[in-house]
Amino acid sequence: MQEHGGLSAAGLEALATTTGPEALLTTLMAMPDQADAAAALALMLPRRQSVWWACLAVRLIPGIGERAAERVALETAETWVQTTSDEAAERAFTAAEFCAVSAPARWAAMAAHWSGPSIAPRGLQPVPPAAHLTGIATRTAMLFTVHDPALRGRLAFADLVAIGVALMHGDVGRKAQAAVLDRLAGG
């Protein structure tokens, strides 16, 4: 977490002074911004849940289905969550390549790819992805989602953390996602 968490100075201090992941997450969630809580949770969740969290977050962006390349990247990431197949991880990488570097869906797809068995192209010697790469891609998807122009600053890391915490507790995250969508719609 210290090396790959991307935590702020306050987040690193919390990491040094708390024991256990639940205590760390509770401390980070008490911070005003909750960006550190999102970053830590992205690394704490199992890979499949982390990728799903990225997908749920990206689906919060109004009009995401109208962005063709991003829609395909997001759908390939969702397919990987459903199947966890090697082929789905490879397709996620291919779809991600068609998205802008700042596209949140690109990073959801990269999280799926980095959850697969190898980051090397098919037919080459397998290269297992480092364990932290999925979390880093999910964290990046969160960052770009919060700052997506279609949301015009209406989405906070706390919204995303609420979805991630639901996943951490065994929920599929749809109810937490619906609550955020309702808030964004003004309901």
- Model confidence over 48-98: pLDDT tens digits? 999 999 999 999 999 999 999 999 999 999 999 999 999 999 999 999 999
What is the DSSP annotation of 61-124?
STTGGGSHHHHHHHHHHHHHHHH--HHHHHHHHHHHTTS-TT-HHHHHHHHHHTTSS-SSPTTS
pLDDT of residue 187: 58
| pTM for the structure as a whole | 0.94
pLDDT of residue 1: 60
- Model confidence over 36-56: pLDDT tens digits? 999 999 999 999 999 999 999
Q: Residue 21: which H helix or E strand, with range?
A: helix 21-29
Q: Return the domain boundaries, the chain.
A: 35-184
